[in-house]
Structure 1
C-alpha cells in the first residue's frame, strides 16, 4: 500500500515510459492529489483501500486505474468515454491498457496491510468487551438498574439499585463539598440561572 504521494510518484514513473502526454495540452500529464481525489469521487478510480489515521492508502489497482486513465486521455478520449470503457474492468484489463513496468508495480517499502491500523470502531464489540466498556472498574455491571439521586442545582448521582431514604440523606451530606465546588465554578443549573 502507498500514500497518495507515493502513488503519484509511481504513476509518474509508469508514464515516463512510452507516454506522449495529452494531445491538447489542457490535461495534466500526471494527475495531482486533487485530481486523484476527484477521480475517486466520480468513480473513475476506486476509493482508497485503507486509512492510516487521516492518511489514505492506495494499492496496485489504483496505480493501474490512474495510468490507464492517463494513457486513454493521451489518445484524446474524454473522461466520460474512459469511465464507460473502464467501469467494472478487472485488473488484467487495466494492466493491458496501463502497461505499467513490473518494477513500478513492486510494493517497495510501502506498509503491509498488517501494519495498517484496523478500523476498530467499525466492528461490533464482543459481548465481554461491551460489558467491560460499559462498566469500568468500580461501576455497576451491565444490566444493573441505576437510580438517580438529585443533589440540588441539577446535579445527579447515579447509584446501582434503589437507595433508601437514609441512603439518599447520607449521599446528599457526603456530596456537600462537591456541590460547593460546582457552585463556585458556576456549574450548577441554579447558579447559571442567577448569573
Structure 2
C-alpha cells in the first residue's frame, strides 16, 4: 500500500512512457492530490483501501485507474466519458489501458507495525491462584461517613457490630481530616 504522495510518484513514473499529455493544455499531465480526492469522491477512482490514522492508503488498482484516466484524457475524452468507459472494468482491462510498467505495480513489503493489544476487548483474567492463598470473596461493610471496609467472607450481624466498634478510632481520624461524607456521619 502507498500513501497518496507515493501513489502520485508512481503515476508520474508510469506516464513517462507513451504519454503525450493532455491535448488542449487545460488538463494537468499528472493528477495532484486534490484531483485524486475529487476522482474518488465522484467514483472515477476507488476510495482509499485503508487508513493509517488520517493517512489514506492506496493499492495497485488505484495506480491503474489513475494512469488509465490520464491516458484516456490524452485522447481527448471527458471525465464523464472516462467514467462511463471504466465503470466496472476489471484489473486486466485497466492494465491494458494504463500500460503501467510491472516494476511500478509491485509494492515493497513495508514493515508491519505490531498490532497493539485490544485489552478492553479481552475478558478480565482471574488473578493467579496459589496453593497458599485460595480465592476468597470480599464483602463490603458499610461504616458511618460513607466509609466501607472490605472483609473476606460473609460477616454475621454480630461481626458487623464488632467491626463498626473497632473501626471507630479510624473513623474519628478520617472525620478530623475531612475525608468522610459529612451527611452520612452518625
Shorter-chain TM-score tier = 0.5 to 0.7
Specify the alignment match of 1:78 in structure 2: 78
Specify the alignment match of 2:97 in structure 1: 97
Structure 1 stretches lacking a partner, 5+ long: 138-161, 182-195
Q: Which has the larger radius of gyration?
A: 2
Does residue 61 (structure 1) correspond to residue 61 (structure 2)? The answer is yes
Q: Distance in 2 between matches of 1:80 and 1:16?
A: 25
Specify the alignment match of 2:110 in structure 1: 111
Specify the alignment match of 1:32 in structure 2: 32
- 1:101 is displaced (CA, Å) by 1.4
CA-to-aligned-CA distance 1:75-132 (integer Å, 9 cap, x gap): 111111111110111100100110111222222x3527xx2677998xxx5xxx1x33
TM-score for the superposition, normalised by structure 1: 0.61
What RMSD over aligned residues (CA atoms) do the two structures have, in Å? 3.4
TM-score for the superposition, normalised by structure 2: 0.64
Specify the alignment match of 1:172 in structure 2: 146
Query: Is residue 45–residue 65 contact of structure 1 (8 Å, CA) maintained in 2?
Result: yes
Q: Secondary structure at the match of 2:44?
A: coil
Task: Give the count of matched residue pairs.
Answer: 144
